[in-house]
Amino acid sequence: MRLKRVLYFFSIIFLSITACQKVDIQYGTQVLDNQYTQVISIDTFTASLATINIDSFPTSGTGVTLLGGYFDTSFGRIDTRCYFDLNPPTYAKVYDSTRFDSLRLILRLNRNYYGDTTQPIHIDVSQLSQQILFPLNVYTFYNVDQFPVKPGFIGKGDFLVHPTYYTDSITISLADTLGQTLLKKLKNPLDLDLQNNDNFLHYFNGLCLSSNKSTNLILNCKDSAIMRLSYSKPGPDTLEHHHIDFTLSNRQHHFNHIDVDRSKTALKNLSHYDSIIPSSQLNNRAYSQYASGVMTKITFPTIYNLLKIPYYSKILSAQLKVVPVRGSYDTYYFLPPSLNLFTTNLTNSLGGALTSPGTNSAETGNLILDYITGDNTAYTYDVSNYIKSLITNAQAYSYSLTNSPANNYGLLLVPSSPASITQFSRVIVGDKNQPQNFRTLLQINYLTVQPQ
């Protein structure tokens, strides 16, 4: 009798342990604590990619002066121009017996750049022939805006720049005739052109900084441009050297114009404001470089098929892995350190930024860089709430599963602001037809509950 009780006791323990163990199965399925409920992990729901043309975006008041241009083998020839106006120095009657020395434009770098720093950057300085003013009911300038300039340049030069060390500013000599004219006006108390801001802006409309096709570098400078007039004046024993500064006037009048020529690239047909090219027509790739007018759109056209799965209950989590194409980036063509995901619809306009579940902080991709093989380079996002909302909308409005509206909704891949409109790092993303380690994937963990 005692032996039977012992055997019965161990039998109960064995059965209890067996019942609590999860079945060891292949990737894709994990069994929970009973035979009716399962968590399924699957990555076969397609993340479809496309490249979108951006018509225009605001560039005024960013605090960044763009200088130069460069040719990108994938995105085309990119050229920048910066426009701004200046304030005169505070007027004072101290210019008698002064002599003109020089007129220079001083630009201070902020260390960001894109392109080849081993070659000089060419900079041209032009005087505007029209005052910078907003059109009626418009309060910002865009990448497509520009103002006419007077013939010829008032300054130009080629500069070898080391933006991450040594070089902290660029100084460009301006025309002596302009400097002499400005000093002459300061000497004459009856000349009102420099005696207040409004008078000066009517007389001196502003400046435009541009480059030429020989340049293969874009520099970021601060918006603290200074036009410095240096002069000398007799002192008791020797000449005294002085200077006055014309400083940036209205920061909302400071803006960057960006030209892009894609005619020699795979993106040559991406020219109209509503252009969109699926990755299947771009060698299974999608492109994103917001500052040159290009975005990647990600949609999930088969996501509603999840509702067709037998015993589907709900989504537990979803992760999007955005993978750059092998060889599409290096230390020259470097990747954006952070990329946001913005919701969008059929109009392809920017919606709200996706935030990390449980927080209000925008997801930035948690970039992992692998310069050795590239196999592990990826941006990853928790898109659980976004995918759940797609499914919830489908259930609430009874969308047709055979004619999925998920093609109209999606996510846009955009660098974090303000880098999106002031820096030119870019990413080329692989779709489902790229080699195994270079595909953009949506992985979903969902719950199924079978009836007992």
Average pLDDT rounded to a whole number, residues 2-12: 41
Please check the confidence at residue 128 and state whether its pLDDT lies above 80.
yes
pLDDT band at 395 (very low <50, low <70, confident <90, very high): low
Average pLDDT rounded to a whole number, residues 265-287: 89
Number of other CB atoms surrounding residue 151 within 10 Å: 7
Average pLDDT rounded to a whole number, residues 403-429: 84
- Are residue 290 and residue 433 in the same domain, yes or no? yes
pLDDT band at 274 (very low <50, low <70, confident <90, very high): low
Residue 294: inside a domain, yes or no?
A: yes
DSSP lists the bridge partners of residue 221 as 65, 109
Predicted pLDDT at 294 = 95
Predicted pLDDT at 18 = 35
pLDDT band at 401 (very low <50, low <70, confident <90, very high): very low
- Are residue 286 and residue 428 in the same domain, yes or no? yes
Predicted pLDDT at 35 = 62
Q: In this prediction, what percent of the chain has a pLDDT beyond 70?
A: 88
Please check the confidence at residue 397 and state whether its pLDDT lies above 60.
no
- Are residue 312 and residue 350 in the same domain, yes or no? yes
Residue 259: strand, helix, or coil: strand
Average pLDDT rounded to a whole number, residues 429-448: 92
Residue 293: inside a domain, yes or no?
A: yes
Among 261, 285, 305, the domain boundary falls at: 261
Predicted pLDDT at 140 = 96
Q: Which two tokens stand for residue 86?
A: 């200046």
Average pLDDT rounded to a whole number, residues 41-49: 86
Residue 140: inside a domain, yes or no?
A: yes
- Separation between Cα atoms, residue 347 and residue 350, nearest integer Å: 9
- Are residue 113 and residue 135 in the same domain, yes or no? yes
Closest alpha carbon to 195 in 117, 95, 289: 95
Among 228, 261, 294, the domain boundary falls at: 261
Radius of gyration from C-alpha coordinates of the chain: 31
pLDDT band at 237 (very low <50, low <70, confident <90, very high): confident
- Are residue 227 and residue 124 in the same domain, yes or no? yes
Please check the confidence at residue 400 and state whether its pLDDT lies above 60.
no
Domain count, the chain: 2
Q: In this prediction, what percent of the chain has a pLDDT beyond 90?
A: 64
Please check the confidence at residue 354 and state whether its pLDDT lies above 90.
yes
pLDDT band at 394 (very low <50, low <70, confident <90, very high): low
- Are residue 291 and residue 416 in the same domain, yes or no? yes
Mean pLDDT of the chain: 87
Of residues 417 and 139, more confidence is placed in 139
Q: What is the pTM of this model?
A: 0.86
- Are residue 197 and residue 315 in the same domain, yes or no? no
pLDDT band at 15 (very low <50, low <70, confident <90, very high): very low
Give the CA distances from residue 350 to residues 140, 159, 257, 295, 435, in Å, rounded to whole numbers and listed in that order. Answer: 18, 38, 21, 10, 30
Residue 32: inside a domain, yes or no?
A: yes
Among 261, 291, 319, the domain boundary falls at: 261
Closest alpha carbon to 419 in 168, 111, 137: 111
Please check the confidence at residue 29 and state whether its pLDDT lies above 50.
no
Residue 356: inside a domain, yes or no?
A: yes
Task: Find all residues with CB under 8 Å of 348, minimum gap 6, and list them.
Answer: 52, 274, 276, 295, 297, 412
Query: Taking a C-beta distance cutoff of 8 angstroms, is the pair 428, 325 a contact?
Result: yes
- Lookup result for tokens 């570098």: 217
Identity of the residue numbered 47? A
- Are residue 122 and residue 49 in the same domain, yes or no? no
pLDDT band at 2 (very low <50, low <70, confident <90, very high): very low
Average pLDDT rounded to a whole number, residues 101-112: 94
Choose the weakest-confidence range: 15-19, 108-112, 283-287. 15-19
- Are residue 46 and residue 70 in the same domain, yes or no? no
Q: What angle do CA 76, 82, 85 make, to 5 degrees?
A: 170
pLDDT band at 356 (very low <50, low <70, confident <90, very high): confident
Average pLDDT rounded to a whole number, residues 259-267: 94
Which range in 87-96, 200-209, 338-347 is most confidently predicted, on average pLDDT? 200-209
- Separation between Cα atoms, residue 218 and residue 211, nearest integer Å: 10
CB burial of residue 198 (10 Å; 0-12, 13-18, 19+): exposed
- Are residue 333 and residue 232 in the same domain, yes or no? no
- Are residue 152 and residue 78 in the same domain, yes or no? yes
- Are residue 210 and residue 299 in the same domain, yes or no? no
Residue 302: inside a domain, yes or no?
A: yes
Residue 385: strand, helix, or coil: helix
Which range in 36-40, 224-228, 328-332, 389-393 is most confidently predicted, on average pLDDT? 224-228
Residue 12: inside a domain, yes or no?
A: no
Q: Which two tokens stand for residue 325?
A: 């194409």
Domain that holds residue 415: 24-54+273-449
Please check the confidence at residue 16 and state whether its pLDDT lies above 50.
no
Residue 59: inside a domain, yes or no?
A: no
Please check the confidence at residue 105 and state whether its pLDDT lies above 50.
yes
Choose the weakest-confidence range: 111-115, 238-242, 399-403. 399-403
